[in-house]
Structure 1
Amino acid sequence: MENPELASLISELSTSADDASDLVKGLLQASINAGLQAEMDAHLGYGHADRKAKARLETAQESNHRNGSYTKTVDSGYGRLEVTMPRDRAGTFTPQMVPKGSRRLTELDDMIISLYAGGMTVRDIQHHLATTLGVDMSPDTISTITDAVLDEVMLWQNRQ
């Protein structure tokens, strides 16, 4: 089922392939940020503006509150994204969409593994990521990703 309003908005905003890519990148960034906020809501047990639920939780137990956020740059299949990572006062929030310590979304790791399994060298993959996605990744990082699944890649390459 086609949405004519969405189609007209996309045609207004995107006049070239770069504009369409920027649109998708912006939508991905917005959806990740919204997902992280939803994860924080679930972790705390109340929504951002839900004062009644917050008050109930404060009277029932020791409360945990939002404690601002910080910006994190992650590499994705659409280039670099700036995501807003929420924090809580107790420091117990562990996001699932963008795990702590990660600098890449799993889709980029999957792409690297696929290219490596297809026979590309680490330097070829580095060049491909830089030219197509604008992601500058060191050969060491690419090697670390491919080494993690090297056995499966070898089986796939040597299949009959």
Structure 2
Amino acid sequence: MTTVSPKKNYDQDKVNEISAKLMDNPEIAKLIGELSTSADDASDLVKGLLQASINAGLQAEMDAHLGYGHSDRKSKAQVETAQSSNHRNGSYTKTVGSAYGALDITMPRDRAGTFRPQMVPKGARRLTELD
């Protein structure tokens, strides 16, 4: 049995807002201009943005799970004194399908094995919510 992320409704206003924010940043607007010279290039650009967004979201989920950021030693020391110590324990690459093709995402791990990502649930092979 294949696990699939839940599908949410499409929100055109939110898409327009994100598009405007991206184009307001001159560096991103320049990058989009350079990388999207054809339909295939534009699709690859969207695929790259999607992959980077998922990876950043998974790292943010791990930060929330552990109670401190990746290189935040001060917060890490405070959290570890208040509860049992749990640490990052590397990551592994997982390939999931999307409307833009296969994405190689980096799944973070914790030492205790208690991290359960919401963005890409364990066992998920297809990202329908992101299509």
Q: Which moved more, 1:89-98 or 1:4-13?
A: 4-13
SS at match of 1:36: helix
Could you tell me how far 1:70 is from its partner in structure 2?
0.2
* Structure-2 change in CA distance of 1:44 and 1:7 (3 Å): same
TM-score (norm 1): 0.64
Percentage identity across aligned positions?
81
Where does structure 1 lack aligned partners over 5 or more consecutive residues?
112-160
Q: Distance in 1 between matches of 2:53 and 2:78?
A: 29
TM-score (norm 2): 0.78
State the aligned residue count: 109
- More helix as a share of residues: 1
- Residues 1:55 and 2:77 aligned together: yes
Higher Rg: 1
CA RMSD of aligned residues (A): 1.6
- Residues 1:86 and 2:108 aligned together: yes
Q: Which residue of 2 is the match for residue 150 of structure 1?
A: none
Where does structure 2 lack aligned partners over 5 or more consecutive residues?
1-19
Q: Distance in 2 between matches of 1:61 and 1:16?
A: 52
Q: What pairs with 1:83-122 in structure 2 (closer than 5 Å)?
A: 83-107=105-129
Residues 3-47 of structure 1, C-alpha deviations (whole Å, 9 max, x = no match):
272333211112110000000000000000000000000000000
Q: What pairs with 1:22-61 in structure 2 (closer than 5 Å)?
A: 22-61=44-83
**Greater RCO, CA 8 A, separation 6+:** 2
- More strand as a share of residues: 2
Q: Which moved more, 1:20-29 or 1:56-65?
A: 56-65
Code of the residue aligned with 2:38 in structure 1: it is S
